[in-house]
Amino acid sequence: MTAIPLTHGLLLAGGLFVLGMVGLVVRRNIFFILLSLEIMFNAAGLAFVIAGQSWNQVDGQIMFLFILTVAASEVSIGLALVLQLYHHYKTVNVDIASDLRDSPKQFASPYED
């Protein structure tokens, strides 16, 4: 069995990562944003496994386990926030939540009362 070259594996992981990133930028539904984050995390995990394989070490796979654990805890908080978002705004579109920003009024004249 011939081994898969490192660059091929890294290109695959890079492609997955870019897919996740595009999803993150394009999607406005918070579920899809969380999914895209998950894809990015897993792409990084795949890169770790491939790199570990090419060095004949288990470190890459251990890192992947850590990544899985962290991603799970992160997504549980993310889903709790989705519930709260829906509770307050009755939508899962993240663009609706934009109360906090530099408002144009603020820019007008901060120096007068």
Partner 1 sequence: MSPTDLIPLLPILTLAVFAVIGILIIAFRRDHRAAMLLTAGGFALALGSAFFAHPTQPRQITPLFIADSYASFYSALILITGLIITLLSYNYLRSFSDHQEEYYVLLLLAGLGALILVMSDHFASFFLGLETLSVSLYTLIAYPHFQKHRIEASIKYLILAEATAAFMLFGMALVYSVEGTLSFAKLSVDPRDSTILLAGWGLLTVGIGFKLALVPFHFWTPDVYQGAPAPVTALIATVSKGAVFALMLRYFTRVNFYDNTNLWQMFALIAILSMLFGNLLALFQKNLKRILAYSSISHLGYLMVAFLASGAFAPQAVAFYFVAYFITTLCAFGVITLLSSYEKEMEDLAEYRGLYKRHPRLAIILGIAMLSLAGLPPTAGLVGKIYLAGAGVSDGLWALLIVLVISSIIGVFYYMRVLYVLFRAPAEEKPRLQISQFGRAILLFLLVLLVGLGLYPAPLMKLVTLAVTGLR
Going by C-beta distance under 8 Å and a sequence separation of 6 or more, which residues neighbour residue 38? 20, 71, 75
Sign of CA dihedral 76, 78, 80, 86: negative
| Under rule CB under 8 A, residue 3 binds partner 1 | no
Among 1, 2, 3, 73, interactor with partner 1 by CB under 8 A: 73
Among 26, 68, 84, 93, interactor with partner 1 by CB under 8 A: 84
Smallest gap from residue 80 Cβ to partner 1 (A): 8
Cα separation, 46 vs 90, in Å, equals: 36
| Under rule CB under 8 A, residue 44 binds partner 1 | yes
Going by C-beta distance under 8 Å and a sequence separation of 6 or more, which residues neighbour residue 45? 63, 64, 67, 68
Cα separation, 41 vs 65, in Å, equals: 11
Q: Which spans of this chain sit near partner 1 (rule: CB under 8 A)?
A: 6, 10, 13-14, 17, 20-21, 24, 30, 33, 37, 40-41, 43-45, 47-48, 50-52, 54-55, 57, 59-60, 62-63, 66-67, 70, 73-74, 77-78, 81, 84-85, 88-89, 94, 97-102, 106-107, 110-111, 113
